[in-house]
Amino acid sequence: MEPAPHPGWPAQLSWGPVELHPLRRGDAAQWARLRVENESWLAPWEPSVGISWSARHTPAAYRAMRRASSRRARLGTSLPFALRYEGRLAGQVTVDNIVRGAMRSGHLGYWVDRAVAGRGVASLAVALVCDHAFGPVGLHRLQADIRPENRPSRRLVERLGFRQEGLFRDYLDIDGAWRDHLGYALLAGEHPGGALARWRSRSPS
């Protein structure tokens, strides 16, 4: 017997040219091409897995990832969103490791195509997911763990109101070595109007 979908999932979110939706079967080839094209942009921040980047990013790899992500979503432990910009696949935003009970928390992760970086696409997408996670999904806390060297990602979460809470030494095996990470967190209700309102207040008019 399949478990009931957890609150707030599946979902589609959008604002202007940015749309977020569950991973689609038909995006396999486009996802593989995008990830291979973005190797130098993304690889320094990705987990070590012991096989080549191209082997990790085939249409078959996407289909396996989508099945695993969809299974976790059905169990209520993940919110795996595809990110589209002006109708084209441009990245992903995921809230993973969701815990209910007294904690009601999740870990935030995201990546975006380098071709659209610097336009506010990733920060808008993350803001939409944060508000959804704190609203219909019912979470209280979102954590983002970021390498100290990843200044663009740190600026993104800081602009949305995440606070740095600590340094995790040799925290994750990333790009071939154990890497320190900074722990950032955002709490539900911490900023009036939510993350999208904060993003809008800090975006060029």
Break the chain into its structural domains and give their ranges. Answer: 18-201
Q: Which residues are within 8 A (CB) of 101 and not within 5 positions of it... i.e. 6 or more apart? A: none
Confidence of residue 205 (pLDDT cuts 50, 70, 90): low
Residue 2 has pLDDT above 80, yes or no: no
Superfamily of domain 18-201: Gcn5-related N-acetyltransferase (GNAT) (3.40.630.30)
pLDDT, tens digit, 9 for 90 and up, residues 110-153: 999 999 999 999 999 999 999 999 999 999 999 999 999 999 99
In 81-203, where does DSSP find H-type helix?
Answer: 121-134, 151-159, 194-201
The pTM score is 0.95
Cα–Cα dist 102/123, whole Å: 28
**What burial letters (b/e) apply to 161-195, b meaning 16+ CB within 10 Å?**
bbeeeeeeeeebebeeeebebbbbbbebeeeeebb
Residues 103-112 have pLDDT tens digits of: 999 999 999 9
Q: What is the pLDDT of residues 150-193, one digit of tens each?
A: 999 999 999 999 999 999 999 999 999 999 999 999 999 998 89
